[in-house]
């Protein structure tokens, strides 16, 4: 009888512990979105990153290879990125500051609380985006790491569609418009979150890529 009670007690402690979740951050960069996750929550899933960079958080985002690495862009370059399938990159930015502080600059940021199993699903889907963690470039001036993406970049596999697919694994559904428009996607995910903290700053529309 005591052993049975002990087993039930341990079971409920285990359930309580494993169901306790964490949080991640969704960032609206103006024309694309990024996902920030606490390194401690995903370190077992990304040993390749842990050996390259030391930081409290990692921001992940997806883009077209020539376009994503540049700081100045043209309409022609943007149209080519969308309508001409090209290789993709996964960008990882290590950061130690509170991601919510990004909203003081030029971003919209939402802190979203999730069950750990959903965070695990999101991190697993992010990892699937990498092509064997092939490092293409490390921009030391901005601490940005660019890795080869697994799938080509095109209009139906764009930066915001990538974020929508990632969150879909955690049960967040997005509209077709959300897959093409960063702010729409941002608002849809935040609206469908059970618990969140939201910082949003106004921003003018401009072509220069927000980096």
> For residue range 51-86, what is the model confidence (pLDDT) as tens digits?
888 899 999 999 888 777 766 656 666 666 566 678
The partner residues of 57 in beta bridges, in order of sequence, read 38, 95
pLDDT of residue 208: 34
Global pTM value: 0.79
The partner residues of 157 in beta bridges, in order of sequence, read 154
Helices (H), the chain: 2-19, 39-42, 47-50, 65-69, 75-83, 116-127, 159-168, 182-191
> For residue range 136-148, what is the model confidence (pLDDT) as tens digits?
999 887 789 999 9
pLDDT value at 28 more than 80: yes
Which residues, 6+ apart, have CB-to-CB distance to 84 below 8 Å?
Answer: 154
* Neighbour count for residue 37 (Cβ, 10 Å): 22
pLDDT of residue 179: 86
């Amino acid at each position: 009888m005591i052993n049975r009670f002990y087993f039930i007690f341990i079971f409920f402690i285990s359930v309580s512990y494993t169901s306790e979740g964490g949080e991640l951050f969704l960032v609206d960069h103006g024309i694309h979105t990024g996902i920030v996750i606490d390194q401690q929550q995903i370190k077992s899933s990304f040993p390749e990153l842990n050996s390259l960079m030391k930081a409290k958080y990692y921001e992940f985002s997806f883009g077209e290879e020539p376009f994503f690495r540049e700081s100045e862009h043209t309409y022609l370059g943007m149209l080519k990125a969308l309508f001409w399938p090209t290789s993709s990159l996964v960008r990882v930015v290590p950061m130690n500051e509170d991601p919510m502080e990004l909203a003081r600059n030029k971003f919209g940021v939402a802190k979203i609380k999730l069950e750990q199993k959903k965070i695990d699903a999101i991190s697993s889907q992010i990892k699937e985006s990498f092509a064997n963690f092939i490092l293409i470039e490390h921009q030391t001036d901005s601490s940005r790491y660019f890795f080869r993406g697994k799938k080509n970049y095109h209009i139906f596999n764009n930066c915001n569609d990538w974020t929508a697919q990632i969150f879909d694994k955690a049960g967040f559904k997005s509209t077709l418009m959300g897959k093409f428009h960063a702010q729409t996607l941002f608002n849809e995910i935040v609206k469908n979150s059970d618990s969140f903290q939201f910082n949003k700053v106004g921003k003018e529309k401009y072509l220069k890529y927000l980096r």
